[in-house]
A and B are shown apart, each in its own frame.
Chain A
Amino acid sequence: MSDEHSSYGIPWNKLQLTNLDTLGFTVEECEPLTGLNVENVVNSEAVTPLMLMANDSTTLFSTIHNTASHENHLKPVALNMFLQPTESASSSACETFGDSQWNSPISEEQEELLNLLKGLRLRERKHRSTNLDTKSLQISFLKLSVYKQYAKFLQEEQQDQTDFDQESKFISKFIYPEKSSNGDLFHCKLKHFFIFSHAGKPIYSLNGSDDVIVGYMGLLTTVISSFDSEVHSLKFGNDMQMCILNKEPLIFVAILKLSTEFKSNLIAIQLNVLYDYLLSILSLTTINKSFANRMNYDLRKVLNPLDYYNLDSLALKLTYGLAPEKDLVQLDNGLNFFISVLLDRSIECAILRNTTRQRLNSILLSCKRVKQRGDSSKSHNSDTSSILSYFSNNEREHLRFLGSDLLFAYIIDGKGRLLSKLRTNPHCLGSKDLLLLFSTINSTLAYNSSNTGEDYWMPLCMPHFNSNGFLYVFIKSIDLADFVKVDGNYVERTPLSIVLVSGNKNSFFEMQKLSNYIIHMIAKKESFRNSLANELNFSYDKPSSTKDSVSSPLLPPCPVLLDHFIFRLKDLEQFAMVQHQGDPNVLKYAFFYTQLCTNESTIVNKVNKKLTIIKWQEGLSDAVVGFRLCDDKHEFYALYSQFQENESPLDITNDSSKLIKWCEKYSKRLWVGEGAVH
């Protein structure tokens, strides 16, 4: 690892404050780093968010989170070390820096911030020494004690159980959906989603049976009838919130006790995702028709068990990044969907070398040029050898394009990451629709996981494309590993799905042939197939085959402390994420990223670059540090763990800036971008 770090040419200097140009931005376009937002959870006891604008003493301020209701951890402590300048250098700097000093030499700014950071660490340690009696609260803090209900739960449970037992009990009691009529279990849940009609008839509930919820639906209908707005939030005390999305004739409600989600419009987005799902299976026209002139319509009549499963799956992934058990077969842990929604419904791209991606793009593009013989006897033949004949240029007059109805084509992997895409002008599917499409595909495949290799053909309304009509989606899943037999090379299990979206409901056979053509083109050449599989399966756990020594490694050199990072391109609404080693701890990531995303950030300079650093104490000695830097175009998120006391947050800044530089340099690996356009 250390070798790789030096390859950057940037000194691995512990206490050097990063210049902004190493954060991936040029010096001309931005001001020096002058602000930090440090949120600190000391000994699981204190939340101390501090906002400081070091170069302008008049804007020096601090905010303390209102977490007084948290009984067992995360208590607020008014700890504001920046109001009393500690060292001489910083105090003078605070007073003398005015607006005229914005362009002062970076070194002074660095010194300034450095001193502040030192002060912070000193105070933090001091505070901690007075609170050593909280050891009992630290059982697996990182996993579940992020939920304040967990500590109380632990007290009630028998102590002789393993952490694992307790955690799985907690998850099934507080998190996983419970459809029984047991009212106690219903009230335990940390989050509820309800969908019902304006008449108060229930349509969907994440938890509880009709017995439990019918009364509440009536009550909610009555309460909601007094609000005019489409989105409405209500807060009950400090630890409960209700959010309402009113889409006449339907009402969507979330009720939650998850304090991390309180201070953002996240819940409204989540409710919109559920609304979009109902639109996707029914279309706006159908919903409106069903309720026209009869408000007593019971929408449950047209929903089937798969729809309820999909709604459960969406609700769980949205909130916790957890997938229902069936989805695990698909290697889908739900984290990518969670992050997608958190990042304003962006699409996750698989990291691939540019040449690989270009090749996939050109395969998709060539779909539009594949022709079909006029003779129909051959058209039902899906054998790959006969597909080649579609290519032949003979009898040009009698041929027609096989893909004439094809609007969009996508190749996605088993985790729902996008590899390559095709669109036909002037049409375009936005990321909101794409996310809906991919998650529907994923859960449909998971739901029917016993029948692999089937072709699926389903009508779906893409509400942001056209909420009145249906598009027809063809899905074929393959496993690259199945093509091993052909030439005896071992290829790891690599599920891929070919998704073809047509505007014509009668084009099933054309789409089926096209999918066979695409699969043939991907798999026919051993070297391409192998490199595709290698790149898709590449991770830090499994250092890649010898091939990679020739070119640069697929992934950036990984900083020692890094757990996970995300890089997002805002205007394309695409992102890529990398897990350092092992499996992601989904609940933990969901908690930390939600905080990173919703916490206030400090504006670093005039061009609107925002920085957030949050530190969560984990155990007595180490901490998790979350880092977020964003501007108009990019967003970078990273989580570092096992952060020791004697390490400086500046290392994090340095490491992050290297990652950002790498991401920008290899941006073509991270994004699918526009993809192929016909």
Chain B
Amino acid sequence: MSGKKKTLLKVIILGDSGVGKTSLMQRFVDDKFSQQYKATIGADFLRKDLTLDNNKQVTLQIWDTAGQERFQSLGVAFYRGADCCILCFDVTNEKSLNNLTSWKDEFLVQSNISNPQDFPFIIIGNKIDVDDSKKIPSLQKKLNNIVNQLAVNANGLTYPVFETSAKDAINVQAAFEVVAKMALQQEEINDANANDASDDYNDAINIHLESEQRGCC
């Protein structure tokens, strides 16, 4: 019965203030876009059901965090128990690209993940709809540098990179599908490990009348 239940995956979106995290989420969940900029306060929580190619049903619980410095104290509560982390930058803002490393480090420190080298990250460069003239000069080269830098400690993993536009709905759906797949994969690996470990608990605990010393009276 439990197999029929949709797997719930917790996805965190991180990145500098104003790179379009909320817009990405809005586009993905509601297929909407708003020109107006409204800073996220604290965090936003949305969910979306997805059916993957292998007919697996997953529910994404998306935690859209505030990029502003002053909300960073909330970090621990947000990052705990995440299944996947989206690192977001703005293709017109070089600083937001350079900051990805510190967002990743921040996440790993706060979330207290047991195997950081296996944890799935995905990188999204948003706002590709804008004029090429406004984009970061030689974006591909700089992006590759950063991605390599991010993956330096990863266990041979390459982090997928997507260039999206929340405004024109380019690549958003595809990016989140990859997020779901990666998180699910991670989840299954975790389960397999846990099953190995949990084999003993059924037998380990047994209260014997003679040997048991604990009574509560």
Q: Are A407's CB and B214's CB within 8 A?
A: no
In the complex, which residues of chain A have a beta carbon less than 8 angstroms from the beta carbon of B42? 222
Whole-angstrom distance between the alpha carbons of A187 and B207 in the complex?
A: 45
Decide if A85 is an interface residue (CB 8 Å cutoff): no
Closest to B78 in A: A222
Query: Which of A303, A466, A470 is the one whose CB lies under 8 Å from B2?
Result: A303
In the complex, which residues of chain B have a beta carbon less than 8 angstroms from the beta carbon of A286? 198, 201
Q: Are B194's CB and A294's CB within 8 A?
A: yes
Decide if A13 is an interface residue (CB 8 Å cutoff): no
Decide if A651 is an interface residue (CB 8 Å cutoff): no
Q: Are A200's CB and B207's CB within 8 A?
A: no
With A200-B10, A222-B74 as given contacts, are A466 and B209 in contact (CB-CB < 8 Å)?
A: no
With A200-B10, A218-B45 as given contacts, are A285 and B205 in contact (CB-CB < 8 Å)?
A: yes
Shortest CB-to-CB span from A465 to chain B, Å, is 6
A side interface size, CB within 8 A = 56
Q: Are A215's CB and B45's CB within 8 A?
A: yes
> B39-66 vs A: 1/0 string, CB under 8 Å?
0001101110000000000010101000
Of the 9-residue stretches B80-88, B89-97, B140-148, B164-172, which lies at the interface with chain A?
Answer: B80-88
> A216-231 vs B: 1/0 string, CB under 8 Å?
1111011011100000
Q: Are B190's CB and A300's CB within 8 A?
A: no
> B1-31 vs A: 1/0 string, CB under 8 Å?
1100111101000000000000000000000
Q: Are B5's CB and A407's CB within 8 A?
A: no
Q: Are A464's CB and B216's CB within 8 A?
A: yes
In the complex, which residues of chain A have a beta carbon less than 8 angstroms from the beta carbon of B152? none
Shortest CB-to-CB span from A431 to chain B, Å, is 11
Whole-angstrom distance between the alpha carbons of A614 and B96 in the complex?
A: 66
With A300-B5, A301-B5 as given contacts, are A428 and B81 in contact (CB-CB < 8 Å)?
A: no
Most A CB within 10 A of own CB, among B6, B46, B47, B74: B47
Decide if B215 is an interface residue (CB 8 Å cutoff): yes
Name the interface residues of A180-236: CB closer than 8 Å to any CB of B: 197-202, 210-211, 214-219, 221-222, 224-226
Whole-angstrom distance between the alpha carbons of A210 and B214 in the complex?
A: 41
Closest to B77 in A: A225
Q: Are A427's CB and B215's CB within 8 A?
A: yes
In the complex, which residues of chain A have a beta carbon less than 8 angstroms from the beta carbon of B45? 200, 214-219
In the complex, which residues of chain A have a beta carbon less than 8 angstroms from the beta carbon of B205? 283, 285, 468-470
Shortest CB-to-CB span from B134 to chain A, Å, is 34
In the complex, which residues of chain A have a beta carbon less than 8 angstroms from the beta carbon of B38? none
Decide if A385 is an interface residue (CB 8 Å cutoff): no
Decide if A398 is an interface residue (CB 8 Å cutoff): no
Q: Are B10's CB and A296's CB within 8 A?
A: yes
Name the interface residues of A387-411: CB closer than 8 Å to any CB of B: 404-405, 407
> A302-318 vs B: 1/0 string, CB under 8 Å?
11110000000000000
Query: Which of A210, A222, A285, A469 is the one whose CB lies under 8 Å from B43?
Result: A222
Whole-angstrom distance between the alpha carbons of A44 and B192 in the complex?
A: 61
Decide if A76 is an interface residue (CB 8 Å cutoff): no
Q: Are A289's CB and B217's CB within 8 A?
A: no
In the complex, which residues of chain A have a beta carbon less than 8 angstroms from the beta carbon of B69? none
In the complex, which residues of chain B have a beta carbon less than 8 angstroms from the beta carbon of A9? none
Whole-angstrom distance between the alpha carbons of A298 and B184 in the complex?
A: 12
In the complex, which residues of chain B have a beta carbon less than 8 angstroms from the beta carbon of A216? 45
Name the interface residues of A494-533: CB closer than 8 Å to any CB of B: 503-505
With A225-B77, A289-B201, A427-B215 as given contacts, are A210 and B59 in contact (CB-CB < 8 Å)?
A: yes
With A202-B8, A468-B205 as given contacts, are A428 and B215 in contact (CB-CB < 8 Å)?
A: yes
Closest to A466 in B: B214
Query: Which of B7, B47, B197, B206 is the one whose CB lies under 8 Å from A211?
Result: B47
Shortest CB-to-CB span from B73 to chain A, Å, is 9
> A463-488 vs B: 1/0 string, CB under 8 Å?
01110111100000000000000000
Decide if A150 is an interface residue (CB 8 Å cutoff): no
Most A CB within 10 A of own CB, among B8, B80, B217: B8
Q: Are A405's CB and B82's CB within 8 A?
A: no
Decide if A426 is an interface residue (CB 8 Å cutoff): yes
Decide if B131 is an interface residue (CB 8 Å cutoff): no
Whole-angstrom distance between the alpha carbons of A303 and B5 in the complex?
A: 11
In the complex, which residues of chain A have a beta carbon less than 8 angstroms from the beta carbon of B212? 427, 466, 503
Decide if B114 is an interface residue (CB 8 Å cutoff): yes
Closest to A224 in B: B77
In the complex, which residues of chain A have a beta carbon less than 8 angstroms from the beta carbon of B216? 428-430, 464-465
In the complex, which residues of chain A have a beta carbon less than 8 angstroms from the beta carbon of B6? 210
Q: Are B8's CB and A201's CB within 8 A?
A: yes
In the complex, which residues of chain A have a beta carbon less than 8 angstroms from the beta carbon of B46? 215
Shortest CB-to-CB span from A320 to chain B, Å, is 28
Shortest CB-to-CB span from A538 to chain B, Å, is 32
In the complex, which residues of chain B have a beta carbon less than 8 angstroms from the beta carbon of A505? 206
Q: Are A305's CB and B1's CB within 8 A?
A: yes
Whole-angstrom distance between the alpha carbons of A325 and B137 in the complex?
A: 68
Closest to A218 in B: B45
Query: Which of B1, B76, B111, B209 is the one whose CB lies under 8 Å from A405?
Result: B209
Closest to A503 in B: B207
Decide if A424 is an interface residue (CB 8 Å cutoff): yes
Shortest CB-to-CB span from A195 to chain B, Å, is 14
Q: Are A471's CB and B80's CB within 8 A?
A: no
Decide if A171 is an interface residue (CB 8 Å cutoff): no
With A197-B81, A304-B1, A428-B215 as given contacts, are A466 and B10 in contact (CB-CB < 8 Å)?
A: no
Q: Are B209's CB and A407's CB within 8 A?
A: yes
Decide if B163 is an interface residue (CB 8 Å cutoff): no
Decide if A544 is an interface residue (CB 8 Å cutoff): no
Q: Are A199's CB and B80's CB within 8 A?
A: yes
Q: Are A297's CB and B217's CB within 8 A?
A: no
With A214-B59, A215-B45 as given contacts, are A296 and B83 in contact (CB-CB < 8 Å)?
A: yes
With A200-B10, A215-B47, A225-B76 as given contacts, are A469 and B59 in contact (CB-CB < 8 Å)?
A: no
In the complex, which residues of chain A have a beta carbon less than 8 angstroms from the beta carbon of B82? 199, 296
Name the interface residues of B164-217: CB closer than 8 Å to any CB of A: 187, 190, 194, 197-198, 201, 205-209, 212, 214-217
Decide if A444 is an interface residue (CB 8 Å cutoff): no
The 9 A-B pairs at the shortest CB distance, nearest first, are namely: A199-B81, A225-B77, A295-B81, A218-B45, A428-B217, A469-B205, A293-B114, A214-B47, A215-B45
Q: List 5 A-B contacts (CB under 8 A).
A: A199-B80, A201-B8, A214-B59, A225-B77, A297-B81
**Which residues of B does A touch, CB under 8 Å?**
1-2, 5-8, 10, 42-43, 45-47, 59, 61, 63, 74, 76-78, 80-83, 111-112, 114, 187, 190, 194, 197-198, 201, 205-209, 212, 214-217
| Sample of 7 further A-B pairs with CB below 8 A, known A216-B45, A405-B209, A425-B215 | A210-B59, A294-B81, A404-B209, A407-B207, A407-B209, A470-B206, A504-B209
